[in-house]
Amino acid sequence: MLVVITLLLIDQLVGRTLIWINEGTMKGDYGRNTYIATQACQDILIFGSSRAIHHYDPTLIGETLGMTCYNCGEDGMGIILMYARLQLILQRHTPKVIIYDIEPSYDLLEDDNTRYLGFLRPFYDNDTIKRICVDVSPSERFKNLSMLYRFNSRWVDIIAQRISRDPSQARDYTWAPLHGRLNAEPSLNAESPILNYDPLKLKYLQRLIECCANNDIALYFVTSPNFGNTDDKVYSPLKELAAANNIPVLNHSIDTTFTRHPELFNDRDHLNQCGATLLTKMVIQEINNQD
Amino acid sequence: MLFNSFEFLWLFPLLLATYWLVNRPVVRAKVPQLPNLLLIGISYGLYIKWNPAFSLLLLGVTAVTYCTGLALERVSQSKKSVLAACGIVLALLPLTVFKYADFILAQANELGALFGMEFGLPGLNWALPLGISFFTFQAVGYVADVFLGRIKAERNWWDYMLFVCFFPQIAAGPIGRANSLLPQIKSPRLFNPSQCSQGMRWLLWGMFLKVVMADRIGLVVDPILAQYQSQSSALCAMAAVLYSLQIYGDFAGYSFMALGVGQLMGFELTNNFKRPYLSQSITEFWHRWHISLSTWLRDYVYIPLGGSRCSKARSYLNIAVTFLVSGIWHGANWTFIIWGILHGLFQIAEKAVGLGKKQSRGIIKVLRVATTFVIVTLLWVIFRMPTLSDAYGFIGHLFSGFATSTITITPSMKILLLLSIVIVVFKDLIDEYLSQDKTLLHNRYRLVRFGTYIGLTVLILLCGVFDASQFIYARF
């Protein structure tokens, strides 16, 4: 009994300390995560995975469209985290425009959705976040009773980013352009894999659309180019969803302006700075045309 | 129900409470078989939940070996060998079909092609029933024991059924022995607080090994081994060492948790691991690694072949055959077969130079432990890689001096890995060289003991990988 009571006390004590550390983190991914959850109040928000954070220059977008802009993209993350981030932002501020870069693996196709909850668990006390976590996996209701669990595997990064003195890790970085050049030739598309779409992800895309409509937010879906890609079949459910709700899809996934030019890519899935700037400009132009 | 799943965390306490409720003397007096029937219900329920069709296979192997055991006591001496052989072949049939048929057919096709014949035998591509190698060997061991007169045939069907299907050990062992497990099944289990607290200790340490060390290492090692050609030699060497620790944490973690679950239910299962990486020779390694399989192979393969009580050459052959069987048991792939053969050859070499059972001290001991670890690690590479050419390729790459890598390990991952490994090494060294009352989990000082329980639980919550990943040995 003594062990259990001590354990519960340590769980609360260490967990609360980690929450305090996390809230004060000014650097890196966790600094950005806290900033987005508690302070971000820009007019234009960019959502999506690594392709969002590497492909869109918010300064260029903000200056051209005459509004403030912040890039909320996150490596390896998708609609579940992005929808939750929007809910946290909406609790204090309503953006005017959302540019959502769709990555099929994280926004459309099936995988273990609990992997998208890592950035959210530190904010589990927030009712909206709690609902999303439990919706993704009912067992989260019980797991998150442990304050330590909320920081599972992430506490090292959170502490390291809290004490980091590296200026390049500042949390106001909103664009991480890549500087390499792809050394490859376009190859024929491999045989199409079987596409298992994830009903939960599609549900959250639908919720995002409804949320934007209810809050008068202009939503634009963008599909970034993949090097050598000639087939955009994977985006079919997105196109259907967007068409049914009158949401523009700025489809660059098979755009030959990019797909045949290795000099615009860092790797097959990510543009380098040159390609990203070109894509940013094209997206701005298309948004202007839509307006 | 995986021990490292959330389902286990909430379901097992409920099952345990129900089990001890029906195990009360007042209930047992009315329905003595109820606790065993409940355990059979739980074991089959969990198996059916995983795959209903395959539970028939489990039932079939149980029925065949049960009937064979009974029949062996009724037939004349001259017919016993034939009957035992028939029973064993029949019990091994599902294992052969599900595990080895594809491999055998593929080899037949390749052999035919060598002689210019196109057999074109199609593979079955059937999923492997969970724990088939473990429960089959357990049941076959029982038939062999009855045949050799080591035990009497079990007459109670329900007791025998529980012996084969007991859920803590069905997925990945330990391979139980009839003379140890059946008496425990037949006698009433009494709630023993000290046995329960020992069970909790095993569960806690097993969970730490699995979710904090093994699964964390898996996140790093799997991508490196999958694309080893693009990684530096140093990174590959690190991956090989890490895989040794991963498979130890994974399999020992499962075994300790099975031991713990067994003890919480009043059973004493075989301890499968005794700090294998502190072995001074490959021979000693097999006395410390997967002990239930080693002893099974010793009793049912090595000794029947003649063991060591024969000529040197014959004894060496017996070792080679035993470890060939061990390799084949692990899987239908040349990688496992070669891995088994090499383990056998190393033991033959050790026996030839008198190092097998010899214990050294001081620096020589350190050198021998380190050498054994390096050999075992290189052999794990063969075991782990999907094909022999990948294994050769990987080992060649280790010594190629290739300097660049496409995979980088983040500093936080390095810290989490190092933390878990240091704790496991520290605990194993203490357990190996200090008396039990000075070890962390059994320390005579309550503060150290309780501090260890709390520390391990906190680390499991903070550092564990909770994706309920399958255990490596459950694939066998």
The number of folded domains in chain A is 1
At a CB cut-off of 8 Å and minimum separation 6, what does B328 contact? B100, B336, B337, B340
Does A189 fall in a domain?
no
Do B148 and B287 reside in the same domain of the chain?
A: no
Do B274 and B247 reside in the same domain of the chain?
A: yes
Dump pLDDT digits (tens) for A66-76. 999 999 999 89
The number of folded domains in chain B is 2
8 Å CB contact of B454 and A149: no
**Residue A186: per-residue pLDDT:** 65
Q: First CA to last CA across chain B, in angstroms? A: 17
Among B126, B158, B188, the domain boundary falls at B188
8 Å CB contact of B466 and A143: yes
8 Å CB contact of A3 and B412: no
Does B346 fall in a domain?
yes
- Find the range with the poorest average confidence among A167-181, A261-275, B289-303: A167-181
Does A176 fall in a domain?
yes
Does A259 fall in a domain?
yes
At a CB cut-off of 8 Å and minimum separation 6, what does B219 contact? B413, B465
| Structure confidence at residue A61 as a pLDDT band (50, 70, 90) | very high
Contacts B10 to A, Cβ<8 Å? 142
**Residue A24: per-residue pLDDT:** 84
The CATH number given to whatever domain includes residue A48 is: 3.40.50.1110
**Residue B237: per-residue pLDDT:** 95
Give which of B4, B412, B416, B465 to mutate to test A binding, by max A Cβ within 10 Å.
B412
List the single residue in B with minimal CA-CA distance to A159.
Answer: B412
Give which of A153, A164, A169 to mutate to test B binding, by max B Cβ within 10 Å.
A153
ω into B174 cis (within 30 of 0): yes
At a CB cut-off of 8 Å and minimum separation 6, what does B25 contact? B188
Does A165 fall in a domain?
no
> Cβ atoms within 10 A of the Cβ of B399, count?
10
Do B80 and B63 reside in the same domain of the chain?
A: yes
8 Å CB contact of A7 and B454: yes
8 Å CB contact of B458 and A14: yes
8 Å CB contact of B453 and A3: yes
* DSSP per-residue codes, B212-229: IIIHHHHHHHHHHHHTGG
Chain B nearest CA to A63, separation (Å):
35
Note down the domain range covering B100.
33-188
Residues of chain B with pLDDT under 50: none
**Residue A229: per-residue pLDDT:** 84
Does B10 fall in a domain?
no
Contacts A149 to B, Cβ<8 Å? 461
Does A188 fall in a domain?
no
Chain B nearest CA to A10, separation (Å):
8
List the single residue in A with minimal CA-CA distance to B7.
Answer: A139
Q: Which of A23, A18, A43, A20 is nearest to A217 (CA)?
A: A43
Give which of A2, A4, A5, A7 to mutate to test B binding, by max B Cβ within 10 Å.
A7
* DSSP per-residue codes, A101-167: E--HHHHTB-S-GGGG-TTTGGGTTSHHHHHHHHHH-TTHHHHTTSTTGGGTTTHHHHHHHHH---G
**Residue B395: per-residue pLDDT:** 94
8 Å CB contact of B462 and A112: no
Contacts B412 to A, Cβ<8 Å? 156-157, 160
How large a percentage of chain A has pLDDT more than 70?
95
| Structure confidence at residue A189 as a pLDDT band (50, 70, 90) | low
Does B69 fall in a domain?
yes
Among B129, B161, B188, the domain boundary falls at B188
List the single residue in A with minimal CA-CA distance to B411.
Answer: A157
Does A164 fall in a domain?
no
Chain B nearest CA to A149, separation (Å):
5
Integer Cα distance of B389 and B335 in angstroms: 9
* Residue A89 CB-half CA count within 13 A: 29
Number of Cβ pairs closer than 8 Å across A and B? 46
Give which of A1, A2, A3, A146 to mutate to test B binding, by max B Cβ within 10 Å.
A3
8 Å CB contact of A148 and B458: yes
* DSSP per-residue codes, B51-85: -HHHHHHHHHHHHHHHHHHHHHTTS-HHHHHHHHH
What letter does residue B277 receive in the DSSP assignment?
A: G
Give the relative orientation of helices A2-23 and A155-163 as an angle to the nearest 10 degrees: 40
Among B168, B188, B208, the domain boundary falls at B188
Residues composing chain B: 476
Instruction: Give the helix/strand (H/E) hosting B339.
Output: helix B334-353
* DSSP H stretches of helix in B265-331: 282-288, 291-297, 303-305, 312-330
List the single residue in B with minimal CA-CA distance to A153.
Answer: B463
At a CB cut-off of 8 Å and minimum separation 6, what does B229 contact? B393, B397
At a CB cut-off of 8 Å and minimum separation 6, what does B378 contact? B240, B395
List the single residue in B with minimal CA-CA distance to A10.
Answer: B458
Residues of chain A whose beta carbon is less than 8 angstroms from a beta carbon of chain B are 2-3, 6-7, 10-11, 14, 112, 114, 139, 142-143, 146, 148-149, 151-153, 155-157, 160
Integer Cα distance of B379 and B373 in angstroms: 10
ipTM score of the complex? 0.82
Integer Cα distance of A241 and B229 in angstroms: 42
Residue with tokens 């399958």: B470
Q: Which of A2, A143, A160 sits opposite B450 (nearest CB)?
A: A2
Do B257 and B368 reside in the same domain of the chain?
A: yes
Q: Which of B328, B17, B54 is nearest to B171 (CA)?
A: B54
Does B144 fall in a domain?
yes
Contact A219, A241 (CB under 8 A): no
Do B159 and B250 reside in the same domain of the chain?
A: no
Give which of B230, B461, B465 to mutate to test A binding, by max A Cβ within 10 Å.
B461
Active site residue B397: no
Q: First CA to last CA across chain A, in angstroms? A: 65
Integer Cα distance of A10 and A28 in angstroms: 27
Contacts A6 to B, Cβ<8 Å? 450, 454
| Structure confidence at residue A184 as a pLDDT band (50, 70, 90) | confident
Does A257 fall in a domain?
yes
Chain A nearest CA to B412, separation (Å):
6
**Residue B468: per-residue pLDDT:** 66
Dump pLDDT digits (tens) for B180-227. 999 999 998 888 999 999 999 999 999 999 999 999 999 999 999 998
Do B260 and B364 reside in the same domain of the chain?
A: yes
8 Å CB contact of A153 and B416: yes
**Residue A188: per-residue pLDDT:** 58
* DSSP per-residue codes, chain A: -HHHHHHHHHHHHHHHHHHHHHHT--BHHHHHHHHHHHT---SEEEEESHHHHHH--HHHHHHHHTS-EEE---TT--HHHHHHHHHHHHTT---SEEEEE--HHHHTB-S-GGGG-TTTGGGTTSHHHHHHHHHH-TTHHHHTTSTTGGGTTTHHHHHHHHH---GGGBTT---------------PPPPPPP--B-HHHHHHHHHHHHHHHHTT-EEEEEE---TT----GGGHHHHHHHHHTT--EEE-TT-HHHHT-GGGEEETTEE-HHHHHHHHHHHHHHHHHH-
**Residue B91: per-residue pLDDT:** 95
Q: Which of A11, A143, A156 sits opposite B416 (nearest CB)?
A: A156
Q: Could you give the 3-state DSSP secondary structure of residue B399?
A: coil
**Residue B115: per-residue pLDDT:** 82
**Average pLDDT value for chain A:** 90
Note down the domain range covering A12.
2-159+172-183+194-290
8 Å CB contact of A153 and B450: no
Does B18 fall in a domain?
no
Q: Which is it for the CA torsion B273, B275, B280, B282, positive or negative?
A: positive
Integer Cα distance of A239 and A248 in angstroms: 9
**Residue B166: per-residue pLDDT:** 94
Do B145 and B216 reside in the same domain of the chain?
A: no
Chain A nearest CA to B366, separation (Å):
34
Instruction: Give the helix/strand (H/E) hosting B355.
Output: none
Integer Cα distance of B85 and A195 in angstroms: 49
Contacts B406 to A, Cβ<8 Å? none
Integer Cα distance of A204 and A47 in angstroms: 13
Do B230 and B183 reside in the same domain of the chain?
A: no
Do B162 and B301 reside in the same domain of the chain?
A: no
Chain B nearest CA to A257, separation (Å):
28
Dump pLDDT digits (tens) for B239-248. 999 999 999 9
Residue with tokens 């062990």: A3
Chain A nearest CA to B408, separation (Å):
15
Integer Cα distance of A55 and A101 in angstroms: 9
Do B184 and B200 reside in the same domain of the chain?
A: no
**Residue B408: per-residue pLDDT:** 86
| Structure confidence at residue A173 as a pLDDT band (50, 70, 90) | low
8 Å CB contact of A142 and B467: no
Contacts B450 to A, Cβ<8 Å? 2-3, 6
Do B265 and B144 reside in the same domain of the chain?
A: no
**Residue B385: per-residue pLDDT:** 95
> Which residue among the candidates B287, B290, B330, B442 is catalytic per the annotation?
B330
Integer Cα distance of B150 and B134 in angstroms: 21
**Residue A171: per-residue pLDDT:** 54
8 Å CB contact of A160 and B454: no
Chain A nearest CA to B454, separation (Å):
6
| Structure confidence at residue A195 as a pLDDT band (50, 70, 90) | confident
Give the relative orientation of helices B52-72 and B77-95 as an angle to the nearest 10 degrees: 170
Dump pLDDT digits (tens) for A89-136. 999 999 999 999 999 999 999 999 999 999 999 999 999 999 999 999
Q: Which residues pair with A251 in a beta bridge?
A: A223
8 Å CB contact of B466 and A14: no
Do B288 and B337 reside in the same domain of the chain?
A: yes
Amino acid identity for residue B279 in this structure: S
